[in-house]
């Protein structure tokens, strides 16, 4: 066998025929066309549904932040400046779950609904030692059913302010002595009505801890 014939056979065994190359190119073309079509469909869906998806993601994020702060709200000592209180546009108190700062430590916080401009309203959260965070912004005209506000649930009714007035009751077991019973420091639920884009929605959070601070022994024996 000559050297020329050995080299020719080696080249035929190590290479691809023209037909094999054409088959591979056709397969690659089909796969590429399918991928391009699928990608264009995904982009088309994203373009059409993008605003709704973004709005849903923003709503879920705002809800998660709000419930995180509210679920960590704890009562403060009665003589503290951080005793929980609230109006229709502001709440102040202590939380174990601030959006900034150490989690697990009672941290003073403040959450407000305020006008950022003449046509834009914002829900902001402040925590001691941290920056102010804008949780949500929306046009003033988005609230068609009323203004954005906080509401507080005492177990029976919703109120636009907290705390409620002291409860006066007659304890028959105390020889007819009228005693004054302090209301719970924390409401059972704290709700905020706001908007995200053109839609209104409601967020509700529940403090998980005790609704009143533990009484001191001196308070127990000196209370009349």
Helical (H) or strand (E) element with 54: helix 18-71
What is the per-residue pLDDT for 145?
Answer: 62
| CA 207, 211, 214, 219 torsion-angle sign | positive
- Cα distance between residue 84 and residue 190, in whole Å: 12
Residue 47 lies in a domain: no
In a domain, 111, yes or no: yes
Domain-located, residue 130: yes
CA-based radius of gyration for the chain: 33
**How many C-beta atoms surround the C-beta of residue 179 within 10 A?**
12
List of the chain residues with pLDDT < 50: 4, 6, 49-50, 52-54, 166-180, 220-221
Q: Decide if 27 is inside a domain.
A: no
pLDDT value of residue 36: 86
**Number of neighbours of residue 84 by Cβ within 10 angstroms:** 24
Q: Is residue 112 part of a domain?
A: yes
* Element (DSSP H or E) covering residue 4: helix 3-14
Residue 128 sits in which domain range?
61-222
Query: Which pLDDT value is given to residue 216?
Result: 57
pLDDT for res 110: 93
Residue whose C-alpha is closest to residue 190's, from 118, 77, 87: 87
In a domain, 189, yes or no: yes
Positive/negative CA dihedral, 14, 19, 23, 25: positive
Residues 6+ apart with CB under 8 A from 218: none
How many separate domains does the chain show? 1
Question: Are the C-beta atoms of residues 119 and 138 closer than 8 Å to each other?
Answer: no
* β-pairing verdict for 90-95 and 149-153: unpaired
DSSP notation for 105-172:
S-EEEEEEEEEEETTEEEEEEEETTS--EEEEEEEGGG-TTS--EEEEE-SS-EESSBSPPPEEEE-G
> Is 39 part of any domain?
no
SS3 18: helix
Are residues 58 and 196 in contact, defined by beta-carbon separation less than 8 angstroms?
A: yes
> Which pLDDT score is estimated for 206?
94
What confidence score (pLDDT) does residue 172 get? 42
pLDDT of residue 198: 64
User: Does 30 fall in a domain?
Assistant: no
Q: What does each C-alpha distance from 135 to 54, 71, 111, 132, 216 come to in angstroms?
A: 15, 16, 10, 9, 37
């Amino acid at each position: 066998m000559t050297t020329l014939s050995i080299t020719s056979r080696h080249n035929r065994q190590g290479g691809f025929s023209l037909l094999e190359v054409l088959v591979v190119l056709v397969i690659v073309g089909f796969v590429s066309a399918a991928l391009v079509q699928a990608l264009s469909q995904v982009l088309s869906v994203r373009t059409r549904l993008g605003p709704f998806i973004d709005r849903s993601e923003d709503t879920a994020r705002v809800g998660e932040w709000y419930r995180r702060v509210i679920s960590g709200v704890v009562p403060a000592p009665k003589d503290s400046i951080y005793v929980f209180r609230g109006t229709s546009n502001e709440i102040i108190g202590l939380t174990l779950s601030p959006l900034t700062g150490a989690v697990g430590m009672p941290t003073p916080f403040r959450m407000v609904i305020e006008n950022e401009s003449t046509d834009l309203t914002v829900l902001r959260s402040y925590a001691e030692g941290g920056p102010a965070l804008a949780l949500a912004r929306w046009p003033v005209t988005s609230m068609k059913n009323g203004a954005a506000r906080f509401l507080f649930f005492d177990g029976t009714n919703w109120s636009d302010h907290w705390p409620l007035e002291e409860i006066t009751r007659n304890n028959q077991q105390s020889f007819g002595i009228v005693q004054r019973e302090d209301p719970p420091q924390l409401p059972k639920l704290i709700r905020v009505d706001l908007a995200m884009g053109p839609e209104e929605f409601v967020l509700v959070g529940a403090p998980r801890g005790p609704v009143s601070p533990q009484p001191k022994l001196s308070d127990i024996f000196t209370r009349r």
